[in-house]
Amino acid sequence: MIKFMNIKTCDNIFRFFLWQCRDGGAAMRCAVTLHLPFEVFGLGNKTYEHYNEIAIYVDHRLEQLGATRVFELGLGDDDANIEDDFITWKDKFWPAVCEFFGIEGAGEDVSIRQYKLTEHVDLPADRIYTGELARLHSFANQRPPYDAKNPFLAPVKVNRELHGPTSERSCMHIEFDIENSKIRYETGDHLAVYPVNNAELVNKIGEQCGANLDTVFTLTNTDEESTKKHPFPCPCSYRTALTHYLDITSNPRTHILKELAEYASDPADKEKLKLMASTTVEGKAAYQQWVVQENRNIVHILEDISSLKPPLDHLCELLPRLQCRYYSISSSPKLYPNSVHITAVVVEYKTPTGRINKGVTTTWLKEKHPSDPLCLVPIFVRKSQFRLPTHPSTPIIMVGPGTGIAPFRGFIQERDFAKKEGKKVGDTILYFGCRKSQEDYLYREELEEYVKSGTLILHTAFSREQSHKVYVTHLLEKNKDEIWRVIGEQNGHIYVCGDARNMARDVHNILVKVVMERGNMSELDATNYIKKMDSQKRYSSDVWS
């Protein structure tokens, strides 16, 4: 009889096994060779067509090869609440594992910590991670290649507003200087930007926890065999950790609430947190309402549950790492080999609790201007499959409302460059939509110049300039002959960039309808025609939910 100390340890073992077998082929070979029992939990998003396809395939294939499934396949949906999906599945999974292997489970002990705290006094300044040194291995002598572990500190060349003066929103056009960096990018790639958390929010955490943010500390993994010695570069101050390392603006997951509950001195507060962390129907509803729908981050939770005073080191252990944000590059290296451009809406909105939430990266970037010589932004390029046709003579249709226009600005620049070189360039057609032509018509002057020069065919939809809403999808519905001419008769390409949940799905449905009507096909044949375009890289999407 094997006895596990706690479920958290089991979770770590399970996640390690999944990581080791993340290569489906390797997992299958293990199963065939050793006849291993297996279990699969997939991470997916229902807004995408091939939802959890790999997890479903691996689960089915392992069974075909003779492996033994311990418990039913689990599917996580990141469009809803993937943490809740996992926890609900896991709570049924572990009893099945215990029964299968004859293991006695000893329950959970949420007080077990993964990291040991050491606070430092009189540590030399050159041994403390601080500022951008918190992220970079080599700040003074940066060397390529630049990536997630070694981002390039890029000066800001241009930061200008794209919205008109009457707009209540803000959209930035930002150009980063990459001269002499040896950074190379292609049209359609993504630019990763590492943000910095708002100082006011960081200070509020210190105040709510009653902690000195300038205390220097180290968190050391208690598992000596782990390759991850610290959760982030240490030693550093709490201020540095909360500013540069940790995500303090997203909705905390339920497992964080479960551990925080132990630090609520008011029994009612403790029970409230425990309820929201539970997998009961009432608990899920409470979490969905209080955390997700009312959009509370860790700062809001500490403010609204006054008896909750967690030690700051444990909070730093629990919070997820602050991730870089990816933006579609809105320039072509043919025109701008020494700079890279992005187009970003400044995120700011009022929550149901009356607070104003702001986007971490865009709010920070808005204050970055070329006039400041110390204005450096950590960036790196992520390669994409969102590519123009090999031959410029191939016609293209681009559908990009709002900031979905970003990669297409680069596409148009590149096609115009080819045209000026004397190359034959096929039709370059753009469907762009926004609210009002005088407020958020991005790159209007540029687009109109391309139309005048004959480089671009432009279709615009301004949704709020008439009594009824008009979107790019309405224009596509009206222009079925043009669409079929490009994708059906001329073997052209179509690109979609923007909202995955509604716009991209509607565009897909319209394309199927076009192929059915103009290509005289059944719905099944039309769907397969679009799938074939996708496999041939003639139908490409760069979308987000």
Beta strand pairing call for 493-499 and 539-544: parallel
Rounded to whole angstroms, the Cα distance separating 377 from 152 reads 8
Are 177 and 154 in contact by the 8 Å Cβ rule? The answer is: yes
For the record, the structure tokens of 258 come out as: 């479960």
Provide the H-helix boundaries in 354-495. Answer: 360-366, 406-420, 444-453, 472-478, 480-484
Q: Which residues contact 394 (CB under 8 A, 6 or more apart)?
A: 426, 490, 491, 492, 493
CA-based nearest residue to 521, from 487, 495, 482: 487
Rounded to whole angstroms, the Cα distance separating 144 from 60 reads 43
For the record, the structure tokens of 264 come out as: 């609520």
Backbone Cα Rg of the chain: 26
For the record, the structure tokens of 254 come out as: 């339920």
* Positions marked active-site: 328, 497, 542, 544
Helix (H, G, I), strand (E, B) or coil at 176: strand
For the record, the structure tokens of 536 come out as: 């041939």
DSSP string, 98-149: HHHHTEEE----TT--SEEEEEESS--GGGSB-GGGGT-S-STT--SPPBTT
Q: What number of other Cβ atoms are within 10 A of residue 444's Cβ?
A: 16
Phi-psi region of 388 (alpha: psi -120 to 50; beta: other; left: phi over 0): beta
For the record, the structure tokens of 171 come out as: 């959209």
Helix (H, G, I), strand (E, B) or coil at 453: helix
Rounded to whole angstroms, the Cα distance separating 59 from 52 reads 11
CA-based nearest residue to 213, from 199, 224, 225, 227: 199
Beta strand pairing call for 376-382 and 356-358: unpaired
Q: Would you give the distance in Å from CA 121 to the centre of its chain?
A: 38
CA-based nearest residue to 498, from 509, 506, 488: 506
Q: What H or E segment, with its residue span, contains residue 457? A: strand 457-462
CA-based nearest residue to 112, from 16, 230, 4, 5: 5
In DSSP terms, which residues pair with 159 in a beta bridge?
A: 174
CA-based nearest residue to 249, from 170, 327, 348, 172: 348
